[in-house]
Amino acid sequence: MSALLPAIHGDGGAGAEATIIASERWDAATVHLNGAVSWTRAHAPGVFGGLIVEGHDAWTLRPVTEVFVEGERDVPLTVSWLAGAVLRLREELSIDAGVRLARSGGTNTTEIRAGLTWSFGVGIPSNDVSRRLPAWRDP
């Protein structure tokens, strides 16, 4: 769940969005299925559905592709496809680039996208479940 607050120099209304993401990892690929429903700032219902397929996380350079469909009442449907790659430079640092093709309301869009992912710890304890359970709940 998330709140869509009024924008400073944009839409003035408030809305909300609920999103669900399901992921599965196999030997050769990772797949993410995304879905969302929203009540937009213009107070219209909206929906989103997407599928992301990427090469295995252990690969230094992995291909990625994404397809999504997004719709909102009284707004043309958007269909999008992205193809690109993610390059892991270090354990905590990756860069990515891709080309996105989209169509909405009879208008085609082409984008070149690039990104940076920097991961860092925030002091959360290890995954050792027994350290987080009360003493009376020994596994």
State the DSSP string of 102-134. Answer: EEETTEEEEEEEEEEEE----S---S-GGGTS-
DSSP symbol at 27: S
Q: Does residue 6 lie in a domain region?
A: no
Predicted TM-score of the model (pTM):
0.78
Torsion, CA 19, CA 51, CA 59, CA 120, rounded to 10: -20
Number of domains making up the chain? 1
Q: Is residue 89 part of a domain?
A: yes
pLDDT tens track for 67-115: 999 999 999 999 999 999 999 999 999 999 999 999 999 999 999 999 9
Is residue 133, in this structure, part of any structural domain at all? no
Model pLDDT, residue 72: 94
Residue where the block lists tokens 């082409």: 110
Segment 9-33, tens digit of pLDDT: 877 889 999 999 999 999 899 999 9
User: Is there a domain that residue 94 lies in?
Assistant: yes
| Terminal alpha carbon distance of the chain | 32
The pLDDT assigned to 120 comes to 87
- Residue 68, in any domain of the structure: yes
What is the C-alpha to C-alpha distance for residues 71 and 89, in angstroms, rounded to an integer?
A: 36
What is d(CA 46, CA 39) in angstroms, rounded to the nearest whole number?
6
The CA dihedral of 94, 56, 64, 97, to the nearest 10 degrees, is 20
Over residues 29-71, the pLDDT tens digits come to: 999 999 999 999 889 999 999 999 999 988 999 999 999 999 9
Predicted local confidence at residue 138, as pLDDT: 46
- Domain range for 33: 18-120
Q: Is residue 4 part of a domain?
A: no
Burial of 26 (0-12, 13-18, 19+ CB in 10 A): exposed
pLDDT surpassing 90 at residue 123: no
Does residue 46 lie in a domain region? yes
CB 16 within 8 A of CB 2: yes
Q: Within a domain: residue 112?
A: yes
